Structure 1
Amino acid sequence: MDFLTIPKRTSGNRTSGLTSVVDFGTPLGELNNILVDYGHIIDIAKIGIGSAYVTPNVKKKVDLYKEFKIKPYCGGTLFEKCYYQNKTPEYVSYLHNLGIEWIEISNGTLEIPLQERLQIISWLKKDFRVIAEVGSKDADNHMPVSEWKEEVRLLLEAGCEYVITEGRDSGTAGIYEKNGTIKSNLIHELLEVADAEKIIFEAPSPKHQMYFIKEIGPNVNLGNVKLQDVLVLEAQRCGLRSETFFLEASECNLL
């Protein structure tokens, strides 16, 4: 029975209000149990870092996510490893064999020139839905705001479905300071050059998630969400936690 007035959430095969989880090796049986209850509030699943390459029964895991209408993809670190070893064509074949339709192009560990990444995206977007990531995993790499804005703009213009803002699973790099503080000025600057619906903000903790919900709205795209936090995040989006308690039903759209 629905009797509360809460922010309206996007639903179904949504393109905004996305919850993108990170899977760092959840066993198949445990994953199935999680998805039975919470699969309807998960949209994308990243098989974290390069772990897909050593995940037992990875094809079964990919198929399980797809069974619940969740889009699986491999973490950008695996792409970077293949790029570094000149194995990108083999990586493409690997993804095709797994039935994965999404690919992440990142430079969180390697410094791949932007123009080269744009060329790779131009090549891959014929066969995949491409997600690109902006920002470094190195907390000491202080990328100017102007570069963030330019990369986001050009990556979307190149045909990426979404751009991910790097935050790591610890929330201590990229769009975050070393101590986990959000670079709020950077976030506002990025929203000047890109539609919030096209950005997935990595927000690994409830504290980070609540910031984006309050700043952008309940239907903000959030990534690097831990599987065990999925229900808590949905409650936050619906104004069912103290920090988001006063969200209005009218705030269903991104600001």
Structure 2
Amino acid sequence: MEFLDLPMRTSGTRTYGITSIADFGVPLQELEYILSDYGHIIDIAKLGIGSAYVTPNVEKKIALYKKYDIEPYCGGTLFEKGYYQNKLTEYTDYLRKLEIEWIEISNGTIDIPLNERLNLVLQLKDDFHVIAEVGSKDANKHMSTSDWVDEVKILLEAGCQYVITEGRDSGTSGIYDKSGLIKSELVEELRKEIDCNKIIFEAPLPKHQMYFINEIGPNVNLGNVRLSDVLILEAQRCGLRCETFFLEEAECKLPL
């Protein structure tokens, strides 16, 4: 029985308000139990780092996600490994064989020039839903705010479905500093300049998720969410945690 007035949440096949989880090797049977309860609040599942390549029964895992209408894809590290070894054709064939319809183009570990990533987006967008990632996993690499904004804009204009802001599974790089603090000025500039419904903010920890929910709204797109935190995140989105208790209904809108 529902009796509380809560922030409006997107539902069904969401285009925003997305929860994207990071699967770093949860066993198949355990995953089935989790999805039977929480599958309706998960939209995208990243098989983290390059783990898909060594995951037992990976075909069954992908089929299980699809059973719950969750889009699976392989982490950007696997893409970068294929790029580094000049085996992107083999990689895309691998994705097709697994019936994975999404592909991440990133440069978190190796430096792939923006023009090269744009060419890859143009080549792949007719066959896959392309997600690009901006930012490095190396916390010592600096990108100016203007470079962040320009790169996200250019990748979206090239045809990416979404752009992910790097944060790692530890929340210590990309849009975070080494100590895990959010670069709030960067986030604010991204909000001002870009439709944040097209950005997936990596937010691996509840404290990061709370920040984005309070700043942007209950339907902010969040990624690198741990499976164990999925229900906690949904409660936060609904204003059912003290840190988001006074959350008002809000949606990400196009920049003015």
User: Which TM-score band applies after superposition, normalised by the shorter structure?
Assistant: over 0.9
1:114 partner letter: L
1:218–1:254 CA contact under 8 A, matched in 2: no
> What residue in structure 2 maps to residue 12 of structure 1?
12
Stretches (4+) displaced over 3 A: none
1:132-181 CA distance string (max 9 Å, x none): 00000001011111110110000000000000000000000000010000
| SS across alignment from 1:4 | coil
1:120 partner letter: L
| SS across alignment from 1:187 | helix
> What residue in structure 1 maps to residue 210 of structure 2?
210
| SS across alignment from 2:95 | helix
| SS across alignment from 1:103 | strand
1:44–1:71 CA contact under 8 A, matched in 2: yes
For structure 1, which segment, 140-149 or 209-218, has the greater mean C-alpha deviation from structure 2 after superposition?
Answer: 140-149
1:239–1:247 CA contact under 8 A, matched in 2: yes
> What residue in structure 2 maps to residue 173 of structure 1?
173
2:123 partner letter: W
| SS across alignment from 1:201 | strand
Deviation, structure 1 residue 193: 2.2
Note the residue ranges of structure 1 that are not aligned, 5 or more in a row: none
1:73–1:104 CA contact under 8 A, matched in 2: yes
1:96 lines up with 2:96 in the alignment: yes
Q: Counterparts of 2:224 and 2:251 in 1: how far apart (Å)?
A: 22
RMSD (Å) for aligned C-alpha atoms: 0.6
Report 1:146-165 matches (<5 A): 146-165=146-165
Q: Counterparts of 1:190 and 1:109 in 2: how far apart (Å)?
A: 23
1:254 lines up with 2:220 in the alignment: no
Deviation, structure 1 residue 192: 2.3
Scaled by the length of structure 2, the TM-score of the pair is 0.98
1:70-129 CA distance string (max 9 Å, x none): 000000000000000000000000000000000000000010000000000000001000
> What residue in structure 2 maps to residue 30 of structure 1?
30
Scaled by the length of structure 1, the TM-score of the pair is 0.98
For structure 1, which segment, 135-144 or 189-198, has the greater mean C-alpha deviation from structure 2 after superposition?
Answer: 189-198
2:216–2:250 CA contact under 8 A, matched in 1: no
| SS across alignment from 2:175 | coil
> What residue in structure 1 maps to residue 144 of structure 2?
144
Give the length in aligned residue pairs: 253
> What residue in structure 2 maps to residue 71 of structure 1?
71
1:135 lines up with 2:135 in the alignment: yes
Q: Counterparts of 1:194 and 1:98 in 2: how far apart (Å)?
A: 33
Deviation, structure 1 residue 252: 3.5
1:135–1:174 CA contact under 8 A, matched in 2: yes
State percent identity of aligned pairs.
Answer: 71
Deviation, structure 1 residue 194: 1.2
> What residue in structure 2 maps to residue 105 of structure 1?
105
1:116 partner letter: E
| SS across alignment from 2:25 | coil
| SS across alignment from 1:177 | coil
1:170-218 CA distance string (max 9 Å, x none): 0000000100000000001112221010000000000000000000000
Q: Counterparts of 1:192 and 1:97 in 2: how far apart (Å)?
A: 40
Q: Counterparts of 2:170 and 2:114 in 1: how far apart (Å)?
A: 25
